[in-house]
Amino acid sequence: MTHWMTDSTPPDDQSDLAVKPRSRTQRPPMYKVLLLNDDFTPMEFVVHVLERLFHMTHAQAIEIMLTVHRKGVAVVGVFSHEVAETKVAQVMELARRQQHPLQCTMEKE
């Protein structure tokens, strides 16, 4: 008996019946960054934050700011955990520096 015959892998005589192995690749979880409404933060400050930190055009920033103002909350972007955390921290820091009560949070998509 030759050595290769003791191998535990059976001869592949049914290659035409092969099934696709289940893919084990996974997407990393993504996180929504949410902006919350309040009664005190000036509209123009919120627009500035959206332009500066979320790279929105002036028109897009106004639209999202007004959505938050009317509905109470809006998603301003979807990012990896690390980027979402950084964005939230940057918004909170800009607001804190200007003493605005603006709140920004993140949640798993």
Q: Which residues bind ligand TYC (CB under 6 A)?
A: 35-39, 41-43, 46, 65, 68-69, 102
Which residues face 74 on adjacent strands? Answer: 35
Q: How far is the CB of 83 from ligand TYC (least distance, A)?
A: 20
Sheet holding 103-108, edge to edge: 73-79, 31-36, 103-108
Closest CB 18 distance from ligand TYC, rounded Å: 55
What is the nearest approach in angstroms of ligand TYC to the Cβ of residue 87? 14
Q: Where are the alpha helices (DSSP H) in 1-80?
A: 43-54, 58-71
Q: How far apart, in whole angstroms, are the C-alpha atoms of residue 98 and residue 94?
A: 7
Shorter beta-carbon distance to ligand TYC: residue 82 or 89: 89
Residue whose CB is less far from ligand TYC, 33 or 79: 33
Output 31 or 95, the one with its CB closest to ligand TYC.
95
For residues 79 and 31, the answer to whether their CB atoms sit within 8 Å is yes
